[in-house]
Structure 1
């Protein structure tokens, strides 16, 4: 089979006959609807597979505004491949071509990042084919409602946490159906980066998730921004009331942007105006959250961590800031600001989360990814872990973030990192038997 040959495969599952595609040693069943919803309503599970011709060549995405920063640092968003859909409850499954009927492979569920506002489960930069083929695992990528549709709300007409409820429906679907694809329904690991990691941390204390997953890998979760968001969310909700019934979703996306500056007064947390909200289903009150995580610690194996220079993604790529802080003493101030903000938003909260999990008797590892390249001034910023986990050189060729990093180096470290993460998904452990990339520091937290 040539590298470009794509073969159609029909899968007979209890959910129905699903058309999938075989290429380069993996099979992908894409854009399977697991639930559906009306605007600002809870998701309703779908009982049977129904083919949607829109998604034969398109990717379903929640309506969203493009991020100029993401376009610059990660690469151009393939909008021509997108099909906006408010009811964005879809998942795709990628699994090895050669899999026996009795095989129960570990399942990794990818919850994408994007500040709870942008992205989808099936972006080329998070195509799991390389990882699946290398490590003989199954990866399920999940799309869910974002922004105004999934992570604002605050009353009965516009309930919050709808994106989180979508994820729970996806996990229920996986629990019921993944064995038909060769996956083990009792060996499910949630993998999330950035806001996806934030969502996963909160799924650990959500109602209605018992038995749906056993492990979590939380990468670069901005847990330092999770506190005392109620007032900001309420104000943002009130500001956007006038556009909540807008029929034209493109106009709705254009209009809500004008309200974002109104929440800047809330400080760093305003960098992520959308998010999970405590005190509404499926979450507890904020003051109960730390104890709830400790109570649930024995249920889940945890691998949590960050990149060493997370906020360099935002600060060192700003032309305005570089004008004044790009060299000399200004650069030293910039480096110190990156260090302080990285620790406040990501580093300290990750360690506190890990230590709290260990206090509850849970199994937990804490990691940190560094950059050892002197010619790479940006260091190890937010999102540098994505090409390491997913590979896919062609998808990252226009990334400004990787401009001074040889792909061979990323690939060398990525193979080792993918092996470690897959081992954790299989066993819940990071052993000393596998080789560790020199950019990775990892420790088991025991208190």
Structure 2
């Protein structure tokens, strides 16, 4: 503990008493590494999570718990983390006031990340917004986001999704003891965490566990189809150098770090990313997640809670440097679009002028992964529950000069009010950060209003279809200064209307046949 830290209040949870700490300098109380589930190792691997074991006495909650097993992306193949990873961290202002609750699900491409990354610890956010902030650890990669039912039925298709549900159930049972209001829970996440929030909105079992949703840059097209689940389960066994008859029992006997390494190997050595076939994601399993979240939203069967959703203007600006030749860019764009919907792919591509130049290619990739699915979420949700949409355009001068702009996850440093924790924090020494402090105040005002009242500030209009008296699709553009745009990029939005982004593999009949799924897919039409 630092010099400003003193022992925090003891709080009784359903599993036992925890003692955190008070940071007098920051004006917060925090409890770290609080278990909401038992270890997921050994016989519990690939199974639904269980509640934590009870403990006697007072559990020290001043240190963060272990992260989920994950790669480090270093020059070695080192893996960090433990399967005893179902912990959460709680931060609140150092007051006795009952406050609304934010449950945060971290991003990291379903592969990496933790509840206590420096950016996501929420110290400044909790005090600025005046909330109880809960950040959640859950299983990742091959241990959390692979459907292995093709190897045996003694598992669940969505371990990580079930971890997140268990955490929400823990919040309902325990958060009042920390001064949180269990009737005012906002579920919030970015990137893979944003996709998790939108996915949980499509899960009937999540009814009543949260009451508002903040969905930031969700890659909703990544949700796995049956074809992807079968492909990646088979590939994991191959990368582990195990026989084709391998069972779940065999995989449970392997070291978790070896499974992570094999998972990374199958992700990078294959060529599936060029078909937008990501290795890890939630799976439509027919039991917990009954259908693709975008289909659930389209049918109006999602949880009817207020939703705030948006993306950054330059989510995948790094892709400008992928291909040297214009023809290669255009072929790559058509290939990734065709993997989902071969009939509509050319029409979408034409809205981006063939994605021949670098900017159009990056724009297409960003829209395919993030913006177009977010527009669809907002369009389908607003008839049922209040909906607001944003676009984050702000970028330091150095990123604009590099041609990267408001890249993926850049908004986190503004929303969490901690630019020093950002991966791009080093850019601040080059200057060009004017307006960032004011933008932090502005965004935290809107996020705070939504968390407390279910709607952002009055200057942010709801996302609605056009009427006789009001224009359509209001989008708050966060920049210096911010402003509202109506139906931004209308031509490109219309190009995506009939494109099916819910069933990966439709444009890969040769792969479906190889996996034995082509006949069953045709019978299901």
Query: Where on the TM-score scale, by shorter chain, does this alignment land: which range?
Result: 0.7 to 0.9
**Deviation string, structure 1 residues 77-103 (Cα, Å, up to 9, x no partner):** xx9xx9722132111110010224xx2
Structure 1: distance between partners of 2:219 and 2:396:
25
Cα RMSD of the aligned pairs, angstroms, is 3.4
C-alpha contact (below 8 Å) 1:369/1:440 kept by paired residues: no
Structure number with greater Rg is: 2
Q: Which moved further from structure 2: 152-161 or 217-226?
A: 152-161
Structure 1 counterpart of 2:308, from 279, 303, 311: 303
How many correspondences in the alignment?
418
Matched position secondary structure for 1:125: helix
Structure 2: distance between partners of 1:123 and 1:91:
12
C-alpha contact (below 8 Å) 2:142/2:259 kept by paired residues: no
Aligned to 1:157: 154
**Deviation string, structure 1 residues 184-227 (Cα, Å, up to 9, x no partner):** 1010001110011111111011132121101100000012333x
Structure 1: distance between partners of 2:397 and 2:62:
45
C-alpha contact (below 8 Å) 1:365/1:444 kept by paired residues: no
Matched position secondary structure for 1:116: coil
Structure 2 counterpart of 1:410, from 436, 457, 462: 436
Matches within 5 A, 1:386-425: 386-396=412-422, 399=425, 406=432, 409-425=435-451
Matched position secondary structure for 2:205: coil
C-alpha contact (below 8 Å) 1:232/1:263 kept by paired residues: no
Which runs of 5 or more residues in structure 2 are unaligned? 241-250, 329-354, 461-475, 488-525
Structure 2 counterpart of 1:65, from 47, 71, 75: 71
Aligned to 1:315: 319
C-alpha contact (below 8 Å) 1:192/1:219 kept by paired residues: yes
Q: Tell me the TM-score normalised to structure 2 length.
A: 0.72
Matches within 5 A, 1:153-302: 153-155=147-149, 156-226=153-223, 229-241=225-237, 243=240, 244-245=251-252, 247-261=254-268, 263-265=270-272, 267-270=274-277, 272-286=278-292, 289-290=295-296, 294-296=300-302, 299-302=304-307
Aligned to 1:380: 406
Matches within 5 A, 1:13-92: 13-15=12-14, 16-23=16-23, 24-36=26-38, 37=40, 38-46=44-52, 48=54, 57-67=63-73, 84-92=81-89
**1:372–1:163 CA distance, 2 compared to 1 (3 A):** closer
C-alpha contact (below 8 Å) 1:365/1:443 kept by paired residues: no
Aligned to 2:389: 366
Which runs of 5 or more residues in structure 1 are unaligned? 72-78, 326-330
Deviation of the 1:10 alpha carbon: 3.1
Structure 2 counterpart of 1:119, from 113, 123, 136: 113
Structure 1: distance between partners of 2:386 and 2:173:
26
Structure 2: distance between partners of 1:51 and 1:310:
48
**Deviation string, structure 1 residues 134-181 (Cα, Å, up to 9, x no partner):** 221111000000111110023123432110000000000000111111
Larger RCO: Structure 1 or Structure 2 (Cα < 8 Å, ≥ 6 residues apart)? 1
Structure 2: distance between partners of 1:401 and 1:378:
12
